[in-house]
Structure 1
Protein backbone atom coordinates (compact mmCIF):
# COMPACT_ATOMS: atom_id res chain seq x y z
CA UNK A 1 0.00 0.00 0.00
CA UNK A 2 1.04 3.60 -0.59
CA UNK A 3 1.53 5.80 2.47
CA UNK A 4 0.01 9.24 2.94
CA UNK A 5 1.73 12.14 4.74
CA UNK A 6 0.41 11.22 8.17
CA UNK A 7 1.49 7.61 7.74
CA UNK A 8 4.93 8.74 6.54
CA UNK A 9 5.48 10.49 9.87
CA UNK A 10 4.59 7.27 11.69
CA UNK A 11 6.85 5.23 9.39
CA UNK A 12 9.75 7.60 10.05
CA UNK A 13 9.41 7.01 13.78
CA UNK A 14 9.23 3.24 13.30
CA UNK A 15 12.29 3.20 11.02
CA UNK A 16 14.30 5.00 13.70
CA UNK A 17 13.94 1.85 15.83
CA UNK A 18 15.79 -0.14 13.17
CA UNK A 19 18.83 2.08 12.71
CA UNK A 20 21.43 1.72 11.32
CA UNK A 21 20.01 -0.83 8.85
CA UNK A 22 17.10 1.44 7.91
CA UNK A 23 19.31 4.54 7.51
CA UNK A 24 18.90 5.22 3.75
CA UNK A 25 15.10 4.99 3.84
CA UNK A 26 14.94 6.79 7.18
CA UNK A 27 17.12 9.53 5.70
CA UNK A 28 14.73 10.00 2.76
CA UNK A 29 11.80 10.45 5.11
CA UNK A 30 13.76 12.84 7.33
CA UNK A 31 14.65 15.06 4.37
CA UNK A 32 11.47 14.75 2.33
CA UNK A 33 9.88 17.99 3.55
CA UNK A 34 12.87 20.01 2.32
CA UNK A 35 12.22 18.96 -1.25
CA UNK A 36 9.26 20.60 -2.99
CA UNK A 37 9.77 18.84 -6.34
CA UNK A 38 10.56 15.28 -7.39
CA UNK A 39 8.87 13.81 -4.35
CA UNK A 40 8.99 10.12 -3.49
CA UNK A 41 6.16 7.64 -3.25
CA UNK A 42 6.49 5.22 -0.34
CA UNK A 43 5.04 1.71 -0.26
CA UNK A 44 4.85 -0.87 2.52
CA UNK A 45 3.81 -4.50 2.55
CA UNK A 46 1.23 -3.88 5.30
CA UNK A 47 0.16 -1.20 7.76
CA UNK A 48 0.82 -0.28 10.50
CA UNK A 49 3.09 -3.27 11.17
CA UNK A 50 5.24 -3.28 8.05
CA UNK A 51 8.24 -5.46 7.28
CA UNK A 52 9.10 -3.94 3.90
CA UNK A 53 9.26 -0.30 2.86
CA UNK A 54 10.09 0.95 -0.63
CA UNK A 55 10.86 4.60 -1.45
CA UNK A 56 10.28 5.22 -5.16
CA UNK A 57 11.25 8.60 -6.63
CA UNK A 58 9.23 10.19 -9.40
CA UNK A 59 11.10 9.66 -12.67
CA UNK A 60 9.93 11.84 -15.52
CA UNK A 61 12.79 11.31 -17.95
CA UNK A 62 14.54 8.24 -19.28
CA UNK A 63 17.90 9.67 -18.23
CA UNK A 64 16.89 9.91 -14.55
CA UNK A 65 19.72 7.46 -13.94
CA UNK A 66 20.43 8.58 -10.39
CA UNK A 67 16.95 8.35 -8.92
CA UNK A 68 17.41 5.29 -6.73
CA UNK A 69 14.57 3.19 -5.36
CA UNK A 70 15.60 2.57 -1.76
CA UNK A 71 14.49 -0.50 0.16
CA UNK A 72 14.45 -1.61 3.79
CA UNK A 73 13.19 -5.12 4.55
CA UNK A 74 13.01 -7.38 7.57
CA UNK A 75 11.51 -10.37 5.74
CA UNK A 76 12.85 -11.80 2.48
CA UNK A 77 9.59 -13.47 1.42
CA UNK A 78 7.58 -10.30 1.93
CA UNK A 79 10.26 -8.32 0.11
CA UNK A 80 9.95 -10.61 -2.91
CA UNK A 81 6.16 -10.34 -2.86
CA UNK A 82 6.29 -6.55 -2.60
CA UNK A 83 8.72 -5.85 -5.44
CA UNK A 84 6.77 -8.22 -7.72
CA UNK A 85 3.71 -5.97 -7.55
CA UNK A 86 3.29 -3.79 -10.68
CA UNK A 87 1.87 -0.99 -8.51
CA UNK A 88 5.18 -0.84 -6.65
CA UNK A 89 7.74 -1.61 -9.38
CA UNK A 90 7.41 -1.21 -13.13
CA UNK A 91 9.91 -3.83 -14.32
CA UNK A 92 9.55 -2.75 -17.95
CA UNK A 93 11.56 0.46 -17.46
CA UNK A 94 15.05 1.33 -16.28
CA UNK A 95 15.42 0.80 -12.51
CA UNK A 96 18.12 1.38 -9.94
CA UNK A 97 17.70 -0.09 -6.46
CA UNK A 98 19.67 0.57 -3.28
CA UNK A 99 19.54 -2.01 -0.48
CA UNK A 100 21.55 -4.13 1.96
CA UNK A 101 23.63 -6.71 0.11
CA UNK A 102 21.82 -9.55 1.90
CA UNK A 103 18.82 -8.87 -0.39
CA UNK A 104 20.76 -9.30 -3.65
CA UNK A 105 19.62 -12.90 -4.17
CA UNK A 106 15.97 -11.84 -3.96
CA UNK A 107 16.38 -9.05 -6.51
CA UNK A 108 18.26 -11.33 -8.90
CA UNK A 109 15.54 -13.98 -8.58
CA UNK A 110 12.72 -11.55 -9.43
CA UNK A 111 14.74 -10.11 -12.32
CA UNK A 112 15.36 -13.60 -13.71
CA UNK A 113 11.68 -14.46 -13.38
CA UNK A 114 10.78 -11.36 -15.39
CA UNK A 115 13.65 -11.86 -17.88
CA UNK A 116 15.09 -8.47 -16.95
CA UNK A 117 18.86 -7.92 -17.32
CA UNK A 118 20.62 -6.66 -14.20
CA UNK A 119 24.07 -5.68 -13.00
CA UNK A 120 25.65 -4.88 -9.66
CA UNK A 121 26.80 -1.28 -9.26
CA UNK A 122 28.92 0.04 -6.35
CA UNK A 123 29.02 -1.90 -3.09
CA UNK A 124 29.81 0.46 -0.23
CA UNK A 125 30.65 0.68 3.43
CA UNK A 126 27.96 2.58 5.33
CA UNK A 127 29.94 4.73 7.77
CA UNK A 128 28.07 6.23 10.73
CA UNK A 129 29.06 8.84 13.30
CA UNK A 130 27.31 7.83 16.51
CA UNK A 131 28.70 10.63 18.68
CA UNK A 132 29.33 14.02 17.07
CA UNK A 133 31.06 15.23 20.23
CA UNK A 134 33.85 12.71 19.53
CA UNK A 135 34.96 14.64 16.44
CA UNK A 136 38.48 16.04 16.80
CA UNK A 137 39.03 19.76 17.06
CA UNK A 138 39.68 21.14 13.59
CA UNK A 139 41.52 24.39 13.07
CA UNK A 140 39.67 26.26 10.31
CA UNK A 141 41.35 29.60 10.91
CA UNK A 142 42.30 31.23 7.64
CA UNK A 143 39.80 29.05 5.76
CA UNK A 144 36.78 30.66 4.14
CA UNK A 145 33.77 28.38 4.51
CA UNK A 146 30.55 28.75 2.55
CA UNK A 147 27.71 26.84 0.90
CA UNK A 148 27.45 25.68 -2.68
CA UNK A 149 25.11 27.56 -5.03
CA UNK A 150 23.73 27.05 -8.52
CA UNK A 151 26.79 28.61 -10.16
CA UNK A 152 28.92 25.74 -8.80
CA UNK A 153 26.84 22.87 -10.25
CA UNK A 154 28.86 22.54 -13.43
CA UNK A 155 32.11 22.18 -11.49
CA UNK A 156 30.69 19.42 -9.28
CA UNK A 157 29.26 17.63 -12.31
CA UNK A 158 32.64 17.68 -14.06
CA UNK A 159 34.58 16.32 -11.09
CA UNK A 160 32.13 13.68 -9.76
CA UNK A 161 33.05 10.17 -10.92
CA UNK A 162 29.47 9.53 -12.10
CA UNK A 163 28.93 13.02 -13.46
CA UNK A 164 29.27 14.81 -16.78
CA UNK A 165 25.80 13.84 -18.02
CA UNK A 166 22.29 15.41 -17.92
CA UNK A 167 20.91 13.05 -15.26
CA UNK A 168 23.75 13.78 -12.86
CA UNK A 169 23.45 17.50 -13.53
CA UNK A 170 19.76 17.50 -12.52
CA UNK A 171 20.56 15.48 -9.42
CA UNK A 172 23.34 17.82 -8.30
CA UNK A 173 21.16 20.85 -9.00
CA UNK A 174 18.46 19.43 -6.71
CA UNK A 175 20.99 18.60 -3.98
CA UNK A 176 22.46 22.10 -3.97
CA UNK A 177 19.02 23.75 -4.04
CA UNK A 178 17.38 21.66 -1.32
CA UNK A 179 19.92 20.10 1.03
CA UNK A 180 22.85 21.27 3.18
CA UNK A 181 26.23 21.76 1.53
CA UNK A 182 29.60 23.08 2.59
CA UNK A 183 32.58 24.31 0.61
CA UNK A 184 35.92 26.01 1.02
CA UNK A 185 36.32 29.13 -1.10
CA UNK A 186 39.46 30.68 -2.52
CA UNK A 187 40.28 34.41 -2.50
CA UNK A 188 38.04 34.95 -5.52
CA UNK A 189 35.07 33.20 -3.90
CA UNK A 190 35.32 30.05 -6.00
CA UNK A 191 34.97 26.61 -4.36
CA UNK A 192 38.16 24.55 -4.16
CA UNK A 193 36.73 21.75 -1.98
CA UNK A 194 33.17 20.73 -1.13
CA UNK A 195 30.80 18.18 0.35
CA UNK A 196 27.09 17.72 -0.43
CA UNK A 197 24.17 15.74 1.00
CA UNK A 198 22.17 13.18 -0.98
CA UNK A 199 18.38 12.85 -0.86
CA UNK A 200 18.80 9.95 1.60
CA UNK A 201 20.70 12.30 3.96
CA UNK A 202 24.12 10.71 3.45
CA UNK A 203 27.09 13.01 3.01
CA UNK A 204 28.78 12.61 -0.34
CA UNK A 205 30.56 13.97 -3.42
CA UNK A 206 33.44 15.00 -1.16
CA UNK A 207 36.09 16.49 -3.44
CA UNK A 208 39.14 18.74 -3.32
CA UNK A 209 40.63 20.16 -6.49
CA UNK A 210 44.06 18.55 -7.11
CA UNK A 211 46.05 21.76 -6.64
CA UNK A 212 44.54 22.28 -3.16
CA UNK A 213 45.05 18.81 -1.71
CA UNK A 214 47.20 18.03 1.30
CA UNK A 215 45.82 20.95 3.34
CA UNK A 216 43.33 19.01 5.49
CA UNK A 217 40.30 20.45 3.69
CA UNK A 218 38.43 17.11 3.67
CA UNK A 219 38.54 16.87 7.47
CA UNK A 220 37.32 20.46 7.84
CA UNK A 221 34.39 19.81 5.50
CA UNK A 222 33.40 16.48 7.06
CA UNK A 223 33.47 17.85 10.61
CA UNK A 224 31.61 21.03 9.66
CA UNK A 225 28.90 19.13 7.80
CA UNK A 226 28.59 16.46 10.50
CA UNK A 227 28.03 19.09 13.16
CA UNK A 228 25.48 20.91 11.01
CA UNK A 229 23.48 17.77 10.21
CA UNK A 230 23.47 16.75 13.86
CA UNK A 231 22.36 20.22 14.97
CA UNK A 232 19.45 20.08 12.51
CA UNK A 233 18.35 16.66 13.78
CA UNK A 234 19.57 14.53 10.88
CA UNK A 235 21.60 11.29 11.02
CA UNK A 236 25.31 11.65 10.25
CA UNK A 237 26.56 9.02 7.84
CA UNK A 238 28.04 8.38 4.41
CA UNK A 239 28.69 5.66 1.86
CA UNK A 240 32.24 4.79 0.81
CA UNK A 241 33.00 2.54 -2.15
CA UNK A 242 34.76 -0.64 -1.00
CA UNK A 243 37.76 0.27 -3.15
CA UNK A 244 38.17 3.80 -1.79
CA UNK A 245 40.67 3.10 0.98
CA UNK A 246 41.70 6.76 1.34
CA UNK A 247 38.20 8.01 2.13
CA UNK A 248 37.60 5.01 4.39
CA UNK A 249 40.71 5.92 6.39
CA UNK A 250 39.74 9.60 6.64
CA UNK A 251 36.23 8.89 7.94
CA UNK A 252 37.45 6.15 10.29
CA UNK A 253 40.04 8.49 11.79
CA UNK A 254 37.25 11.00 12.44
CA UNK A 255 35.25 8.46 14.47
CA UNK A 256 32.92 6.99 11.85
CA UNK A 257 32.18 3.29 12.27
CA UNK A 258 30.24 0.61 10.40
CA UNK A 259 28.24 -2.52 11.07
CA UNK A 260 30.02 -5.22 9.01
CA UNK A 261 26.71 -7.04 8.44
CA UNK A 262 25.51 -4.14 6.28
CA UNK A 263 26.87 -3.45 2.81
CA UNK A 264 25.07 -0.80 0.83
CA UNK A 265 24.52 -2.23 -2.64
CA UNK A 266 23.13 -0.72 -5.81
CA UNK A 267 21.82 -2.74 -8.73
CA UNK A 268 20.28 -1.55 -11.95
CA UNK A 269 17.88 -3.31 -14.28
CA UNK A 270 17.09 -2.76 -17.96
CA UNK A 271 20.34 -0.89 -18.50
CA UNK A 272 20.00 2.47 -20.25
CA UNK A 273 21.23 2.42 -23.84
Structure 2
Protein backbone atom coordinates (compact mmCIF):
# COMPACT_ATOMS: atom_id res chain seq x y z
CA UNK A 1 0.00 0.00 0.00
CA UNK A 2 1.18 3.54 -0.81
CA UNK A 3 0.85 6.39 1.68
CA UNK A 4 -0.39 9.45 -0.19
CA UNK A 5 1.48 12.73 0.12
CA UNK A 6 0.09 16.25 -0.12
CA UNK A 7 -0.06 16.37 -3.92
CA UNK A 8 -1.52 12.88 -4.19
CA UNK A 9 -4.21 13.73 -1.63
CA UNK A 10 -5.30 16.70 -3.73
CA UNK A 11 -5.40 14.54 -6.85
CA UNK A 12 -7.37 11.83 -5.05
CA UNK A 13 -10.00 14.35 -3.94
CA UNK A 14 -10.45 15.54 -7.52
CA UNK A 15 -10.61 11.95 -8.76
CA UNK A 16 -13.52 11.15 -6.44
CA UNK A 17 -15.54 14.21 -7.44
CA UNK A 18 -18.38 14.39 -8.23
CA UNK A 19 -19.43 12.70 -5.02
CA UNK A 20 -20.79 9.17 -5.33
CA UNK A 21 -22.36 6.94 -2.65
CA UNK A 22 -19.56 4.39 -3.02
CA UNK A 23 -16.92 6.95 -2.06
CA UNK A 24 -18.76 9.36 0.21
CA UNK A 25 -16.76 8.70 3.40
CA UNK A 26 -13.33 8.61 1.79
CA UNK A 27 -14.18 11.82 -0.08
CA UNK A 28 -15.17 13.43 3.22
CA UNK A 29 -11.90 12.38 4.84
CA UNK A 30 -9.87 13.65 1.89
CA UNK A 31 -11.76 16.94 1.97
CA UNK A 32 -10.97 17.37 5.68
CA UNK A 33 -7.32 16.32 5.39
CA UNK A 34 -6.67 18.66 2.47
CA UNK A 35 -7.98 21.57 4.52
CA UNK A 36 -6.02 20.78 7.64
CA UNK A 37 -9.03 19.55 9.61
CA UNK A 38 -8.04 15.91 10.15
CA UNK A 39 -4.32 15.88 10.89
CA UNK A 40 -4.45 12.52 12.68
CA UNK A 41 -5.48 10.66 9.53
CA UNK A 42 -3.57 9.35 6.55
CA UNK A 43 -4.71 7.80 3.30
CA UNK A 44 -3.14 4.79 1.60
CA UNK A 45 -3.82 3.41 -1.87
CA UNK A 46 -3.28 0.02 -3.45
CA UNK A 47 -1.50 1.72 -6.38
CA UNK A 48 -0.91 5.20 -7.78
CA UNK A 49 -2.14 7.04 -9.76
CA UNK A 50 -4.50 4.32 -11.05
CA UNK A 51 -5.85 3.22 -7.68
CA UNK A 52 -8.73 0.85 -7.03
CA UNK A 53 -8.77 1.02 -3.22
CA UNK A 54 -8.29 3.92 -0.81
CA UNK A 55 -8.05 3.35 2.95
CA UNK A 56 -8.29 6.18 5.47
CA UNK A 57 -6.76 5.32 8.84
CA UNK A 58 -5.19 6.89 11.93
CA UNK A 59 -1.52 7.75 11.59
CA UNK A 60 -0.92 6.08 14.94
CA UNK A 61 -2.82 2.84 15.37
CA UNK A 62 -4.63 2.42 18.66
CA UNK A 63 -4.72 -1.11 20.04
CA UNK A 64 -7.59 -2.46 22.08
CA UNK A 65 -6.58 -5.73 23.70
CA UNK A 66 -5.27 -7.71 20.72
CA UNK A 67 -7.14 -5.90 17.95
CA UNK A 68 -5.92 -3.06 15.80
CA UNK A 69 -8.47 -0.29 15.39
CA UNK A 70 -8.14 0.66 11.72
CA UNK A 71 -11.17 2.13 9.95
CA UNK A 72 -11.49 1.33 6.27
CA UNK A 73 -13.48 3.16 3.69
CA UNK A 74 -15.10 1.52 0.64
CA UNK A 75 -13.17 1.64 -2.62
CA UNK A 76 -14.29 3.78 -5.51
CA UNK A 77 -14.70 0.76 -7.83
CA UNK A 78 -17.57 -1.24 -6.42
CA UNK A 79 -16.73 -4.21 -8.63
CA UNK A 80 -13.23 -4.58 -7.16
CA UNK A 81 -12.76 -6.60 -3.99
CA UNK A 82 -10.68 -4.95 -1.28
CA UNK A 83 -7.88 -6.90 0.34
CA UNK A 84 -7.28 -6.15 3.99
CA UNK A 85 -4.63 -7.61 6.28
CA UNK A 86 -6.46 -6.62 9.46
CA UNK A 87 -10.11 -5.61 9.64
CA UNK A 88 -11.28 -5.81 13.27
CA UNK A 89 -13.61 -2.85 12.92
CA UNK A 90 -15.10 -1.34 9.77
CA UNK A 91 -16.93 1.95 10.18
CA UNK A 92 -19.11 1.45 7.11
CA UNK A 93 -19.55 -0.80 4.12
CA UNK A 94 -21.99 -0.75 1.23
CA UNK A 95 -24.74 -3.21 2.11
CA UNK A 96 -24.27 -4.82 -1.31
CA UNK A 97 -20.77 -5.89 -0.22
CA UNK A 98 -21.66 -6.96 3.32
CA UNK A 99 -21.66 -10.69 2.53
CA UNK A 100 -18.21 -10.43 0.92
CA UNK A 101 -16.80 -8.63 3.97
CA UNK A 102 -18.37 -11.18 6.32
CA UNK A 103 -16.89 -14.06 4.31
CA UNK A 104 -13.46 -12.41 4.33
CA UNK A 105 -13.62 -11.97 8.10
CA UNK A 106 -14.54 -15.64 8.53
CA UNK A 107 -11.58 -16.70 6.39
CA UNK A 108 -9.25 -14.86 8.78
CA UNK A 109 -10.99 -16.05 11.93
CA UNK A 110 -12.34 -12.60 12.79
CA UNK A 111 -15.86 -12.52 14.28
CA UNK A 112 -18.25 -10.34 12.27
CA UNK A 113 -21.32 -8.53 13.53
CA UNK A 114 -23.40 -5.77 11.94
CA UNK A 115 -24.08 -3.06 14.50
CA UNK A 116 -26.67 -1.14 12.48
CA UNK A 117 -27.87 -0.36 8.95
CA UNK A 118 -28.13 3.29 7.95
CA UNK A 119 -29.51 5.17 4.96
CA UNK A 120 -27.11 7.40 3.03
CA UNK A 121 -28.76 10.78 2.39
CA UNK A 122 -26.54 13.05 0.27
CA UNK A 123 -27.55 16.62 -0.57
CA UNK A 124 -26.68 17.50 -4.16
CA UNK A 125 -26.45 21.12 -5.24
CA UNK A 126 -27.58 22.16 -8.72
CA UNK A 127 -25.20 24.51 -10.60
CA UNK A 128 -26.69 27.96 -11.16
CA UNK A 129 -26.29 27.79 -14.92
CA UNK A 130 -28.58 24.76 -15.07
CA UNK A 131 -31.53 26.50 -13.38
CA UNK A 132 -33.41 28.52 -15.99
CA UNK A 133 -36.94 29.65 -16.89
CA UNK A 134 -38.93 27.36 -19.15
CA UNK A 135 -39.30 28.43 -22.78
CA UNK A 136 -42.25 28.13 -25.15
CA UNK A 137 -40.64 25.16 -26.92
CA UNK A 138 -40.81 23.21 -23.64
CA UNK A 139 -44.61 23.40 -23.47
CA UNK A 140 -45.10 20.12 -25.35
CA UNK A 141 -42.86 18.22 -22.91
CA UNK A 142 -44.60 19.70 -19.86
CA UNK A 143 -48.02 18.97 -21.37
CA UNK A 144 -47.10 15.36 -22.13
CA UNK A 145 -46.20 14.65 -18.48
CA UNK A 146 -49.03 16.63 -16.84
CA UNK A 147 -51.66 14.42 -15.22
CA UNK A 148 -54.41 16.61 -16.66
CA UNK A 149 -52.63 17.28 -19.95
CA UNK A 150 -52.11 15.50 -23.22
CA UNK A 151 -54.45 17.38 -25.55
CA UNK A 152 -54.47 20.66 -27.47
CA UNK A 153 -56.42 22.58 -24.83
CA UNK A 154 -54.03 21.61 -22.05
CA UNK A 155 -51.07 22.46 -24.30
CA UNK A 156 -52.45 25.97 -24.74
CA UNK A 157 -52.86 26.26 -20.96
CA UNK A 158 -49.25 25.21 -20.35
CA UNK A 159 -48.02 27.60 -23.03
CA UNK A 160 -49.96 30.38 -21.34
CA UNK A 161 -48.45 29.62 -17.94
CA UNK A 162 -44.93 29.64 -19.38
CA UNK A 163 -45.50 32.82 -21.40
CA UNK A 164 -47.20 34.90 -18.71
CA UNK A 165 -45.88 33.75 -15.34
CA UNK A 166 -42.58 32.79 -13.69
CA UNK A 167 -41.30 29.26 -14.19
CA UNK A 168 -38.10 27.38 -13.43
CA UNK A 169 -36.49 24.19 -14.62
CA UNK A 170 -33.29 22.19 -14.20
CA UNK A 171 -31.67 21.69 -17.58
CA UNK A 172 -29.72 18.63 -18.64
CA UNK A 173 -26.02 19.34 -18.17
CA UNK A 174 -25.33 17.82 -21.58
CA UNK A 175 -27.24 20.62 -23.32
CA UNK A 176 -30.50 18.72 -23.62
CA UNK A 177 -33.93 19.71 -22.39
CA UNK A 178 -35.49 20.20 -18.94
CA UNK A 179 -35.20 17.41 -16.37
CA UNK A 180 -37.41 18.94 -13.68
CA UNK A 181 -39.71 21.95 -13.60
CA UNK A 182 -42.28 24.00 -11.72
CA UNK A 183 -44.77 26.50 -13.11
CA UNK A 184 -47.30 29.03 -11.83
CA UNK A 185 -50.99 28.80 -12.74
CA UNK A 186 -53.02 31.83 -13.81
CA UNK A 187 -54.42 31.95 -10.25
CA UNK A 188 -50.75 32.13 -9.11
CA UNK A 189 -50.56 28.80 -7.29
CA UNK A 190 -47.39 26.78 -7.77
CA UNK A 191 -48.10 23.76 -9.92
CA UNK A 192 -47.16 21.21 -12.56
CA UNK A 193 -44.14 20.24 -10.46
CA UNK A 194 -42.53 17.29 -12.19
CA UNK A 195 -39.20 15.48 -12.50
CA UNK A 196 -38.45 12.94 -15.20
CA UNK A 197 -38.44 9.48 -13.53
CA UNK A 198 -34.79 8.71 -14.31
CA UNK A 199 -33.67 11.95 -12.64
CA UNK A 200 -35.61 11.73 -9.37
CA UNK A 201 -34.17 11.61 -5.84
CA UNK A 202 -31.56 14.25 -6.68
CA UNK A 203 -33.24 17.17 -4.90
CA UNK A 204 -34.27 18.93 -8.10
CA UNK A 205 -37.91 19.48 -7.11
CA UNK A 206 -37.02 20.83 -3.69
CA UNK A 207 -34.45 23.18 -5.18
CA UNK A 208 -36.91 24.51 -7.73
CA UNK A 209 -39.77 25.02 -5.26
CA UNK A 210 -37.45 26.79 -2.82
CA UNK A 211 -36.08 29.07 -5.55
CA UNK A 212 -39.49 29.78 -7.01
CA UNK A 213 -41.06 30.56 -3.63
CA UNK A 214 -38.25 33.01 -2.87
CA UNK A 215 -38.61 34.69 -6.25
CA UNK A 216 -42.38 35.02 -5.92
CA UNK A 217 -42.06 36.53 -2.46
CA UNK A 218 -39.59 39.09 -3.81
CA UNK A 219 -42.10 40.00 -6.54
CA UNK A 220 -44.88 40.39 -3.97
CA UNK A 221 -46.81 37.36 -5.23
CA UNK A 222 -48.86 35.18 -2.89
CA UNK A 223 -47.05 31.87 -2.45
CA UNK A 224 -49.23 28.79 -2.13
CA UNK A 225 -49.96 25.47 -3.78
CA UNK A 226 -52.51 22.67 -3.90
CA UNK A 227 -51.49 19.07 -3.22
CA UNK A 228 -53.82 16.21 -4.06
CA UNK A 229 -54.95 14.14 -1.10
CA UNK A 230 -52.82 11.01 -0.92
CA UNK A 231 -49.80 12.56 -2.64
CA UNK A 232 -47.55 12.14 0.39
CA UNK A 233 -44.34 12.81 -1.54
CA UNK A 234 -45.41 16.29 -2.67
CA UNK A 235 -47.06 17.03 0.67
CA UNK A 236 -43.86 16.14 2.50
CA UNK A 237 -41.74 18.20 0.13
CA UNK A 238 -43.80 21.37 0.53
CA UNK A 239 -44.22 21.08 4.30
CA UNK A 240 -40.47 20.50 4.69
CA UNK A 241 -39.98 23.92 3.07
CA UNK A 242 -42.32 25.64 5.51
CA UNK A 243 -45.65 25.41 3.68
CA UNK A 244 -48.49 24.71 6.12
CA UNK A 245 -51.79 22.93 5.58
CA UNK A 246 -54.93 25.05 5.56
CA UNK A 247 -57.36 22.17 5.20
CA UNK A 248 -58.84 20.47 2.15
CA UNK A 249 -60.79 21.87 -0.77
CA UNK A 250 -62.37 20.47 -3.93
* TM-score, L = length of structure 1: 0.45
The structure having more radius of gyration, on CA atoms, is: 2
* TM-score, L = length of structure 2: 0.49
Q: Which has the higher contact order (CA 8 A, sep 6+)?
A: 1
